[in-house]
Amino acid sequence: MNGNSSLVRRGTAVSVALLVVVLAAWQWGPGLLGIPVFIIPPLSAVFDEFLRMLAVSGLMTHTGVTAIEVIAGFVLGSLLGAFFGYVLGMSPTAEFALSPYILALQIAFFPVMVNVLTAIRTVDPDLVNLARAFTATRAQIFWKIEFPASLPPLFAGLRIASTLAVVGVVVGELVGGNVGLGYLLAFGEGQANTAMVFVAIFMLTVVGGIAYLAVILAEQRVLHYLPRRALRGV
C-alpha cells in the first residue's frame, strides 16, 4: 500500500513538472523560435483572451451548450450502440444484414457497438452449453452470462465514445451552428484570432476530459468486483 502511495506521489510530481515545462515552453518558446503570434500566440495572450471571452463573448454559455450536446449525443449514441451490439452479437443474420449501413454512420455509438458485439461473440461456449444443459432460457443466458461478460468491453467502448461525442458535436457546430464552442472555433479562425481558437480548443478539451473521467468513475463503480493490478515502480 505504501509502495503504491509513493508511486502515485512520484507520478503526480512528474506530471506537474511536465505541465510547468509545457506551459513555460508555450509562453516563451514561440518568441525564441521567431514564430508569429498569429500562428502560435503565447500563453499569456491566450489567457487574456480567455478572460475577455468570459466577460464579453459568453464563453461559459457556449461551453454549456456544447456540454449539453455532448451529453445528449453520448447517451443516445451509447444506448444505440449497446442495443445494436447485443442484437447483432446474438443474431449473425442481423449482423450480416445491418452491418453495411451501420458502418456508414460512424457516429459515437460505433465503438460501443463493436465492443459489445465482439464480447457477445467471444463468450465461452462451454458456459452457454452448461447453462442450456440446466434448462436455462435464452433470457437467463443473456442476463447471467453474456451481459456480465460484455461489461468490461462495453466500458472500453464508452471511453472511446465519450471523446468521439465531442468530435461529433464540434463538427455539427462548425457546419451550421451559431452557438457552442465549435462556432467560437470557426468564428475565431475567420477573425484571424488565434488566441480565441486556442481558448475554444482548451474548453473542448475540458469538456472531453470531464466526459472521459465520468465514464471512468462509472466503470469503477460498476466493475468494482474485477481484480485490479497492483501498481509497480519501474
How is residue 36 written as a grid cell?
508569429
| Per-residue model confidence (pLDDT) at position 4 | 61
CA angle 82, 120, 73 (to 5 degrees): 15
pTM: 0.81
What's at 228, amino acid-wise?
R
Give the mean model confidence (pLDDT) for residues 144-169.
90
| Per-residue model confidence (pLDDT) at position 231 | 46
| Per-residue model confidence (pLDDT) at position 28 | 93
| Per-residue model confidence (pLDDT) at position 70 | 92
| Per-residue model confidence (pLDDT) at position 100 | 67
| Per-residue model confidence (pLDDT) at position 38 | 84
- Separation of CA 81 from chain center: 15
| Per-residue model confidence (pLDDT) at position 233 | 47
| Per-residue model confidence (pLDDT) at position 104 | 61
Domain parsing of the chain, residue ranges: 1-34, 42-222
Chain mean pLDDT for the chain? 86
Give the mean model confidence (pLDDT) for residues 1-6.
61
Burial 161-179 (b: 16+ CB within 10 A, else e): bbbbbbbbbbeebeeebee
Reported as type and span, the H/E element at residue 76 is helix 59-90
Q: Are the CB atoms for 123 and 146 separated by under 8 Å?
A: yes
- pLDDT category at 3 given cuts 50, 70, 90 is low
* 102-142 pLDDT per residue, tens: 666 557 678 888 899 889 988 888 888 898 898 888 889 88
pLDDT at 227 over 80: no
> How far are the Cα atoms of 78, 85, 104, 223 from residue 98, in angstroms, in the given order?
18, 11, 10, 31
Q: Looking at per-residue confidence, does 146 or 232 come out higher?
A: 146
Contacts of 135 (CB under 8 A, 6+ apart): none
pLDDT at 84 over 90: no
State the DSSP code for 230: P
| Per-residue model confidence (pLDDT) at position 234 | 47
Domain 42-222 maps to which CATH number in 1.10.540.10, 1.10.3720.10, 3.90.1150.10, 3.40.50.261?
Answer: 1.10.3720.10
* 12-62 pLDDT per residue, tens: 888 889 989 999 999 998 888 888 888 889 999 999 999 999 888 889 999
Give the mean model confidence (pLDDT) for residues 57-71.
91
> Among candidates 207, 153, 162, 212, which has minimal Cα distance to 181?
207
How is residue 11 written as a grid cell?
507520478
